Amino acid sequence: SYELTQPPSESVSPGQTARITCSGDALPKKYAYWYQQKSGQAPVLVIYEDRKRPPGTPERFSGSSSGTTATLIITGAQAEDEADYHCYSTDSSGNVGAFGGGTKLTVL
Amino acid sequence: QVQLQESGPGLVKPSETLSLTCTVSGASVGIANYYWTWIRQPPGKGLEWIGNIYYSGSTKYNPSLKGRVTISIDTSKNQFFLRLSSVSAADTAVYYCARDGDSTGRGYFDYWGQGSLVTVSS
């Protein structure tokens, strides 16, 4: 099955910029999607098609993708951004989906 | 307002079959442009894509589940279903149903159920 790789944890000071990476062999050809999950809640989509924000996502959230790595960027991180972040994409055929292992973001 | 709700047993014995239902309101599972998806999350771990189904009945599955999974749909009841056979403790997880709002099923999960914890234990 297809695999996406994320760092298990990242930390950022309030007001600073957080970057969370996601690596996968098919990412040069397939979009990445990013989900925020707070404790005890279902995930929420924050970035789609590498860099687009769905309605309701704050402007401090952005995304980029280059080669085999997609990146979620939080510019001016706030305490409320502390959560687990999961990337999602599909393999090169588009038939198999996969999530990364998730990154726990600490804002301190 | 689109809502999804998982239902099914919270406890399943090893080697038996896990069965869950996702009931959808505010949207129809019988129209094109959406993929209806099952995702799970073992306690303290990351998300795992299980598979999806289109209104036509076409399915895609995670090969890591080695043929144990079946997803089906009932457009008359506006529901879709998950069956996972030969379960073990490794299948203990919160199971989510979700809508993929991308017309080609690329991963725009815009609506999720609240999740259903299924424990595999004798």
Tens digits of residue pLDDT in B75-102: 999 999 999 999 999 999 999 999 999 9
Distance CA A20, CA A39 (A): 19
DSSP bridge partners of A18: A74
Q: Which amino acid is at B50?
A: I
Q: What are the tens digits of pLDDT across the range A11-56?
A: 999 999 999 999 999 999 999 999 999 999 999 999 999 999 999 9
Residue of A nearest to B61 (CA): A96
CA distance A22 to chain B (A): 14
Question: Looking at residues B33-56, what average pLDDT do you find?
Answer: 97
CA distance A44 to B121: 30
Whether B87 and B120 have beta carbons less than 8 Å apart is answered as yes
Least confident interval from A26-30, A73-77, B7-11, B62-66: B62-66
- Distance (Å, rounded) from C-alpha A102 to C-alpha A108? 19
Contact list, B35 vs chain A (CB under 8 Å): none
In one-letter notation, the amino acid at residue B112 is W
Hey, are the CB atoms on B47 and A95 less than 8 Å from each other? no
pLDDT for residue B105: 87
